[in-house]
Amino acid sequence: MKLRLSWLILAAFFLAGAVQGQNQSPADLPSAPSATKPESPPPPPASPQPPAPVVQPEASKSEARPADSAKSDPSLSTGRPAPATATPDTRPATASSSASGDDTLSTIRRTVNEVNVVFTVTDKHGRYVKDLKKEDFKIIDDAKPAAEIRSFRAETDLSLELGLLIDASNSVRDRFKFEQEAAVEFLNQTIRRSYDTAFVIGFDVTPEVTQDFTDNTEALSSGVRMLRPGGGTALYDALYFACRDKLMRSQRNTPVRKSIILLSDGDDNQSHVTREEAIEMAQRAEVVVYTISTNLSGSGSHGDKVLERIADATGGRAYIPFQLTEVANDFANIQEELRSQYAISYKPADFQPDGRYRTIQILALEKGLHVRSRHGWFAPSQ
């Protein structure tokens, strides 16, 4: 009997312990890892980035292909000129650009209704005339005389921003080495250290920046010599890209001449933008384009006519050599012209920020003189 009572007391003791364990609060129990650190969902996959032009380490890595911009640029999708817009400069800001916001706004108000034009003057023998004054010219803007000439400068007063565009497609392979050396000599003779800057772009199916803006002629020469021919030709894309992504980004506080030397046979077979769209971009960027044909047939090919159209529309000049050795002479002629230019700034008589294309005529008052400049400009849009 005592044994049975002992078993009953022992059973009651274990039963009480079990009930106490079941009544323990969940807060007193250890949490599972997933309760203390809930799993965060994996991040969504990044959207694919559009391909960009090939850029060497020295060059800016923020440039986009003309083909991509053609899809988003209103002027390319509608066929109508897009309003001129300001594009930020990707190069480091200088001390002069750190002015206060009020100063920046006042500068914009003073200059938004001014038009800047670079031009050359020759006599009846084709010789450059370099000693003229602003009183020797009359400006007609959109069929009306300009209201005021605000500034007039000769070449010696102006810095130069120059783009060298070299066709590196298969079509120029047999004469590529000579053209490279002629281009190197041109850069060595033209770029003034601490005053002018230049960049080098080679192009086949895409533009490749082999040397970004610099005044170092050795670096520019290296950029020219590293180019290798091969592939198709996207000439219009390269010109569009150089004007929009390089020269239009320039925001110097002082007047500057912007020029491109385009060395090509003019036969485009890969571009996404058209010839006229590339010309329009050059006009918006206020770039003068000089072209040197690498087509040595001397037959006035379709490519030569393309190069002539580009040069004429931007106020430049087209050179068509008949033999390879003349390429170096053409570079020398361009160098002389760059040292013989004028730059004029004027206020139109009835300026309207309507984004419209307006024609320009610069007339020399002295008989027998010929003025060559771009034919028009695009007014900004509000």
pLDDT tens for 323-340 read 888 899 999 999 999 999
340 touches 120 (CB < 8 A) = yes
Q: Is residue 29 part of a domain?
A: no
Q: What is the mean pLDDT of residues 299-307?
A: 88
pLDDT confidence of residue 158: 81
Please indicate, yes or no, whether residues 312 and 352 belong to a single structural domain of this protein.
Answer: no
Query: Distance between CA 132 and CA 136 in Å, rounded?
Result: 6
Q: Is residue 30 part of a domain?
A: no
Q: Is residue 261 part of a domain?
A: yes
pLDDT per residue as tens digits for the range 4-18? 555 656 555 555 554
Between 24-33, 189-198, 252-261, the lowest mean confidence (pLDDT) is in: 24-33
Query: Distance between CA 89 and CA 253 in Å, rounded?
Result: 12
pLDDT confidence of residue 352: 87
Alpha helix ranges (H) inside 191-339: 217-225, 235-241, 275-284, 302-314, 326-338
Please indicate, yes or no, whether residues 201 and 311 belong to a single structural domain of this protein.
Answer: yes
Please indicate, yes or no, whether residues 330 and 241 belong to a single structural domain of this protein.
Answer: yes
- % of the chain beyond a pLDDT of 90: 55
Please indicate, yes or no, whether residues 346 and 331 belong to a single structural domain of this protein.
Answer: no
Please indicate, yes or no, whether residues 215 and 262 belong to a single structural domain of this protein.
Answer: yes
pTM of the complete model: 0.71
Query: Distance between CA 238 and CA 166 in Å, rounded?
Result: 9
pLDDT confidence of residue 181: 92
Please indicate, yes or no, whether residues 347 and 246 belong to a single structural domain of this protein.
Answer: no
Q: Is residue 134 part of a domain?
A: yes
Query: Distance between CA 118 and CA 240 in Å, rounded?
Result: 20
At residue 252 the predicted structure's pLDDT band, cuts being 50, 70 and 90, is low
Which of 16-20, 174-178, 190-194 is modeled with the greatest confidence? 190-194
Q: Is residue 276 part of a domain?
A: yes
Q: Is residue 369 part of a domain?
A: yes
308 touches 163 (CB < 8 A) = no
268 Cβ contact partners less than 8 Å away, ≥ 6 residues apart:
233, 234, 235, 236, 275, 306
How crowded is residue 236: how many other Cβ atoms within 10 Å of its Cβ? 25
pLDDT per residue as tens digits for the range 98-144? 333 333 333 333 456 889 999 999 999 999 999 999 999 999 999 99
pLDDT confidence of residue 346: 95
Q: For the chain, how many structural domains are there in total?
A: 2
pLDDT confidence of residue 113: 81
Domain around 201:
159-338
Please indicate, yes or no, whether residues 366 and 282 belong to a single structural domain of this protein.
Answer: no
Please indicate, yes or no, whether residues 329 and 230 belong to a single structural domain of this protein.
Answer: yes
Q: Is residue 42 part of a domain?
A: no
pLDDT confidence of residue 65: 42
72 Cβ contact partners less than 8 Å away, ≥ 6 residues apart:
none
**256-270 exposure pattern, b = at least 16 Cβ within 10 A, e = fewer:** bbbbbbbbbbbbbeb
Please indicate, yes or no, whether residues 361 and 229 belong to a single structural domain of this protein.
Answer: no
pLDDT confidence of residue 103: 37
Which of 52-61, 94-103, 357-366 is modeled with the greatest confidence? 357-366
- Whether 96 shows a pLDDT value over 60: the answer reads no
Please indicate, yes or no, whether residues 134 and 208 belong to a single structural domain of this protein.
Answer: no
pLDDT confidence of residue 67: 42
- Whether 285 shows a pLDDT value over 50: the answer reads yes
Q: Is the dihedral of CA 312, 323, 335, 54 positive or negative?
A: positive
**Tokens (6 digits) for 268:** 């485009």
Please indicate, yes or no, whether residues 277 and 368 belong to a single structural domain of this protein.
Answer: no
Query: Distance between CA 308 and CA 323 in Å, rounded?
Result: 18
CATH number of the CATH domain containing 271: 3.40.50.410
- % of the chain beyond a pLDDT of 70: 69
In 3-state terms, what secondary structure has residue 224?
helix
Average pLDDT, the chain: 78
- Whether 56 shows a pLDDT value over 90: the answer reads no
179 touches 163 (CB < 8 A) = no
Please indicate, yes or no, whether residues 267 and 362 belong to a single structural domain of this protein.
Answer: no
Q: Is residue 50 part of a domain?
A: no
Q: What is the mean pLDDT of residues 234-261?
A: 89
pLDDT confidence of residue 8: 59
Q: Is the dihedral of CA 151, 154, 160, 161 positive or negative?
A: positive
- Whether 48 shows a pLDDT value over 80: the answer reads no
